Each structure stands twice: as structure tokens, then as C-alpha cells.
Amino acid sequence: MPTITTKDGVEIFYKDWGSGQPIVFSHGWPLTADDWDAQMMFFASNGYRVIAHDRRGHGRSTQTWDGNEMDTYADDLRALVLALDLKDAIHVGHSTGGGEVARYLGRHGTDRAAKAVLIGAVPPVMVKKDSNPEGLPIEVFDGFRSALLADRAQMYIDIPTGPFFGFNRPGAKVSQGMIDKWWLQGMMGGVKAHYDCIKAFSETDFTEDLKKIDIPVFLMHGDDDQIVPYEDAALKGIKLLQKGTLKIYPGLPHAMATTHADLINNDLLAWLKGELKDATQSAAALEPA
């Protein structure tokens, strides 16, 4: 399997397909590069080079005890970019991966990056605190940690069966395959890394990272996202970006890049080409109803 080795000896697995301008995909918790199957196939078939890695502690990368936090995730991504000598790259992150992309660009700059895309992403910050009173209470994330330690395998059935894909909504068309794939990806990773990553995605504040990003950024978010509510994520994030574009998708869930891959892929391709319609490009973006 292709891997790079980080400065602390961690092996990071990656996939690298196609040719053209590189698109680098960062996955969500607790998944792997395989969560980007639909996007990898689509964009490689449309003239792009596509790269996706398994975050440390996830999937086929080393199951780590240390370094399961956003600064190190960003450093690992930088190591991958440098090892593959990627230039003019487009960085795409979903959920936790969106935080990884924001921290990477904020921490390491945009010298090798052209654009970024955050899909259902956690920035600016998820947890409720004085500076983020609309956030989710810490007890929500404590509950995630308790459930993970009590029965990780069952937790990794409950999440995709319910809110992740929106399969708990009336009339939802449930895919057992998507549920099983989610479970399999989750169980490939290490319990310690997954436990630590809950703190990383929920408590890290990306406000200053977003302010620093000087390349175009596309925020894509479903308004029925039950994992990362769009009101406290995309609607706040767009106001922090220098060159942000926002599109809110009515009725779509957290995993819309999987459940509605054709729509998301085509919109993303249109944005990359400067042809996207019906998107907002100002800090005075959509306000919650």
C-alpha cells in the first residue's frame, strides 16, 4: 500500500489516481479515504488528479496513541503535500476533514493551494462556550465518548442508521450498503485515535484559521445536517472568509456527498470552473430561518 512516513514515524496511507490539477480529500470521523469513492471516481474521470489519505489512527494508517489533534492532522497533511510535491492543489474536507483543511491552510499557508471546499464541515467551532453560545453542549460529545468506550461497534451502527445519512427521517430511502460501509470504515481505525478525535472535531476553534485563508473557499452544507448544524457552521464560516462562496442545500443530510453524490459533484465541478449558479458570495449570506 502507498504510504508516507511522518516525522514522528507514523505511516499515512493514501490513494493517488489520475492526472491533472490535484484535488486532495480529507475525510470525516471515524472514516477513511474510501468515504470519497464517488468523488474520486468522478473527478479523476473529469481530468483531475485525486488524492485521499487515511488520517492517522484511521483506516490503513498507523493506529496512534499520540498526535490525534488538529495541529498534527494538519502537519500530516502538509507532509503528504510535500512528499507528493503537490502544487496548485484543491483541498476538499468533509466534517472533521473540513477542520483539517482549515487548520492546514491556517497553519501552513496557501503556497501550494489554489482553492478549498468545506462540505458539512465543523468550522468555526462546534462546542458551546461563551464565545459560541449557539454551539452544542459539551455533554453531547461526552455522550459520544461514553458510547464509543461502551460499545464502539454498536455506536458505529447507530450513527449511520440514524442521523449521518438522514435515514431516520420519514420517507428516507435507506441503503444498508451505506450503513455497512460506514461501519466497516469505522472499525478499521483505532479506538484511542477515534476517542481523541471527538475532542479534536468538537472543541478546536478554527476562527483564526478561516480568517487567514486567502484563496477561494466553497462552503457546501445541508440544512438538515443533524451532525453539524449549518446555522453554527457554514453561516458563521462564510462571514470569516476573505473569498467565500456558500451554498445551502434544502433537506440534505450531513453525508450529502454520498447520498446525493451527483448533485454535489456537479456543483463542485461547476464552482471549480467558475460556472456555479444559485450560490451566495458575500459575508451577508443566508441567515437561519
Q: Which CATH superfamily is domain 3-272 in?
A: Alpha/Beta hydrolase fold, catalytic domain (3.40.50.1820)
Q: How many degrees, rounded to 5, is the angle at CA 80 between CA 185 and CA 115?
A: 90
Question: What pLDDT was estimated at residue 288?
Answer: 47
Answer yes or no: 254 catalytic: yes
Phi, psi of 284 (to 5 degrees): -90, 55
Which tens digit of pLDDT belongs to each residue from 76-133? 999 999 999 999 999 999 999 999 999 999 999 999 999 999 999 999 999 999 999 9
Q: Where are the alpha helices (DSSP H) in 132-255?
A: 138-159, 176-188, 191-203, 207-212, 234-237
Q: How many degrees, rounded to 5, is the angle at CA 193 between CA 192 and CA 195?
A: 65
Active-site entry in 76, 225, 232, 267? 225
CA dist., res. 155 & res. 194, Å (int): 12
Which tens digit of pLDDT belongs to each residue from 17-44? 999 999 999 999 999 999 999 999 999 9
**Dihedral sign from CA coordinates of 96, 100, 101, 103:** positive
pLDDT band (50, 70, 90) for residue 278: confident
Query: What residue ranges do the domains of the chain occupy?
Result: 3-272
Answer yes or no: 95 catalytic: yes
Active-site entry in 26, 61, 95, 202? 95
Active-site entry in 26, 76, 254, 267? 254
Percentage of the chain beyond pLDDT 90 is: 95
Which tens digit of pLDDT belongs to each residue from 199-210? 999 999 999 999
Percentage of the chain beyond pLDDT 70 is: 97
Question: What pLDDT was estimated at residue 115?
Answer: 98
Question: What pLDDT was estimated at residue 282?
Answer: 56
pTM of the complete model:
0.96
Question: What pLDDT was estimated at residue 192?
Answer: 98
